[in-house]
Structure 1
């Protein structure tokens, strides 16, 4: 399986909502930071926001993603939820309290790991603009 081959990961509705809300923060409370564009292997701000829209649509509509874009979706959610430097951190604006969000995020991490999805996918040889 390649980094760009589409795979469907079975997530619960709560897991899907957590990812959706985490990614959606980049269109809301999180101010754009170029470090996230670079971390995702993207060339510019416009491509970053196009990816955000693509991920929100796919996750919201239960569509499969590439391994690369699953890695991006989880990284974006982790950063938006936890980081006060480049994410929402304490201002994470969802209906998930920390005591509910933490086990959900861990469950998502375990599920993507079973598909061989990890941070190595974010290194340049795996990254392209589309994922």
Structure 2
């Protein structure tokens, strides 16, 4: 079942109306792990994955679904957003200072996209 608005349970899929900048932020925030960003078991667990291997095996599927505009469960929206936030912002855990160097948008554009995604997720009762 796919739902567009309202508070949902974690079994329902939700489609968020994302801009290309918001999709790019989430996409790159997932796929850049494994380059400059190194996912650890402890961090993966905090984000909501079983371990780093679970993250590595899930990130492509999540990234593809986001880019293609398919629905994700609230749990997966939260996991994707948390991974992207850390990848973008943290220089000790994620890409951080190298964000623009890996070919992603500017820090300013990314920050605006991140805030916008955070608001959309909160407004849909996912956060």
Q: TM-score, normalised by structure 1?
A: 0.82
What is the number of residues matched between the two proteins?
A: 118
> Would the aligned equivalents of 2:30 and 2:80 in 1 still touch at CA under 8 Å?
yes
> Would the aligned equivalents of 1:34 and 1:45 in 2 still touch at CA under 8 Å?
yes
Q: CA deviation at 1:42?
A: 2.5
Q: Aligned partners of 1:8 and 1:73: how far apart in 2?
A: 14
Q: State the superposition RMSD in angstroms.
A: 1.4
1:112 aligns with 2:121: yes
Cα distance change on mapping 1:42 and 1:22 into 2, 3 Å: closer
Aligned match for 2:21, one of 14, 18, 28: 14
Greater RCO (Cα-Cα under 8 Å, separation 6 or more): 1
Q: TM-score, normalised by structure 2?
A: 0.85
Cα distance change on mapping 1:5 and 1:96 into 2, 3 Å: same
Structure 2 gaps of 5+ residues are: 1-7
